[in-house]
Amino acid sequence: MRKSVLKGSCIGGAIILLSLIAMYLGLAYYYAEGFSYGTWINGVYCAGKSIQEVNEELLKQCDYAGLTITDSDGKSYTILPEEVDFSADFGEVLNLYQQQQNPYLWVDNLIGNAKDRTIDPVIRYDQAAYDHKVNGFPFFHGIPKENRTVRIIKGNEGYQLLNDRTHVLNEEKTKELIKSAFESLDSELDLEAEGCYQDLPLDEEMEKTLSLWEKLREYQDCGIVYRFGDETFPINAGIVCDFLMLDEKGGFVFDEDGNLMTDPEKVYEFVDSLADTYDTAGGVRYFNATRGEVVTVEGGTYGNKIDREAEKEYLLQAFLEKRREEHEPLYLQMALRQGKDDIGDTYIEVDMTEQMLYYYEKGELMIETPVVTGNTSLRRGTPSGTNFVYNKQRNRVLKGEDYASPVKYWLPVKGAIGIHDASWRSKYGGEIYKTNGSHGCINTPLEEVSKLYDMVEIGTPCVMFY
């Protein structure tokens, strides 16, 4: 009995063992046509799949759109796959990997030896097309190394250093990085971040140029800013560069300590030019008249006049002392406002052709009235010019050789010429001034001149023109 049980157990065990062996060998045969159990490549499960099947799946993951290269100026250039007949294929690598697998040892992966393998495709492209594309990038066509110098030039912003030997592209390194990035299927390459730029060594003459530039840079560093009302005028390097003293050959002149020297006369010339720009007293103005056109107004008493001698002394001293400050110039004559627009938006306008007076306050028209100006037939026409209200008086008698006229409101704007009421008149405007005009003053209706008197301040500009 026992022999029968033992015999039966042996036969049953043999059958199970043979079944397991058959199953094992069957799986080995199955995996012999593909990759072994538990094989992962680049995140793709490959067990039982053929090389072609795995290759197709892996190629889907590397749909390469090309390489974008960015230079130090932020400009980008691309190499597109189709431009160089680019192709990628995992077949060769997969074949080698599969040959290394033993289908009869698939159980190794089952008991924990499986892992995700990473492989790279075989990259192919047209080398000639690739070279033509890469060599055509502008950053490879800069100044040749042998022609790169250090020099100083003079421009609108003063003396400037042009140093061609800094931040130079290392072409050999750059080409190697581009090739590596393209073949690694990278999408971007930043040449600046990858350290593709370097400084070239300097010779003795270049070092001397750099030393001179440091002196020029320090000399041109000026912190003086002129203020003209709401306007500012910085004394920058483009101005200061012309203060330098030069010898007969145009070379720089140095003092005994090796410092660059300043030519006082050149500083004075600049102050004169500055005053020519910002002096407005007695000058020509282009005025937007209420009648809708731009009129030219010459002369008059209103405006600014800089004290040139005082400013020449100030600027030379302040510059030599390297002061950093905002400065308002001294004036021999000051208008109500400083700057090129010294009239501003508050002013009296007397249009002698239209025989109209307007008063604008902060840009708003406050008074609009007809007037009577000087008698042109008797050559007493009111003179044109930009003047200003220099006084205000009530109840004054205006006297001349042949008249004495009492007025209630008197606003003189130029000598004996002013704006006042005229009780002897009942009409204003039109062409009265041509035959029955004043002695030169601006006769204004009492109601309007009384309002003007209360509104206007002494110093208010008065633009008078035909």
How confident is the model over 41-93, as pLDDT tens digits? 888 888 878 888 777 887 787 788 999 999 999 999 999 999 999 988 887 77
What b/e sequence results for 127-141 when a residue is b if at least 16 CB atoms lie within 10 Å of its CB, and e otherwise? Answer: eeebeebbeebebee
pLDDT at site 415 = 95
pLDDT at site 15 = 58
What is the dihedral sign for C-alpha 175, 181, 182, 184? Answer: positive
Q: For residues 341 and 280, is the Cβ–Cβ distance under 8 A? A: no
pLDDT at site 44 = 81
Distance CA 464, CA 389 (A): 12
Question: Average of pLDDT values for 421-440?
Answer: 97
Residue whose tokens read 């004290």: 307
Q: Which two tokens stand for residue 384?
A: 């044109």
Question: Average of pLDDT values for 290-305?
Answer: 97
Average pLDDT, the chain: 90
pTM above 0.95, yes or no: no
Question: Average of pLDDT values for 246-251?
Answer: 95
Q: For domain 221-338, give the CATH number.
A: 3.10.20.800
pLDDT at site 183 = 92
Statement: 347-465 belongs to CATH 2.40.440.10: yes
Residue 173 has pLDDT above 60, yes or no: yes
Q: Which two tokens stand for residue 439?
A: 């002695």
Q: How confident is the model at residue 27 (pLDDT cuts 50, 70, 90)?
A: very low
Residue whose tokens read 């030169």: 440
pLDDT at site 109 = 45
pLDDT at site 38 = 75
Amino acid, res. 453? Y
**In the chain, % of residues over pLDDT 90:** 77
Residue 25 has pLDDT above 60, yes or no: no
pLDDT at site 255 = 96
Residue 417 has pLDDT above 70, yes or no: yes
pLDDT at site 121 = 83
Question: Average of pLDDT values for 103-131?
Answer: 69
Q: Where are the domains of the chain?
A: 2-62+87-123, 221-338, 347-465
Residue whose tokens read 């294929």: 89
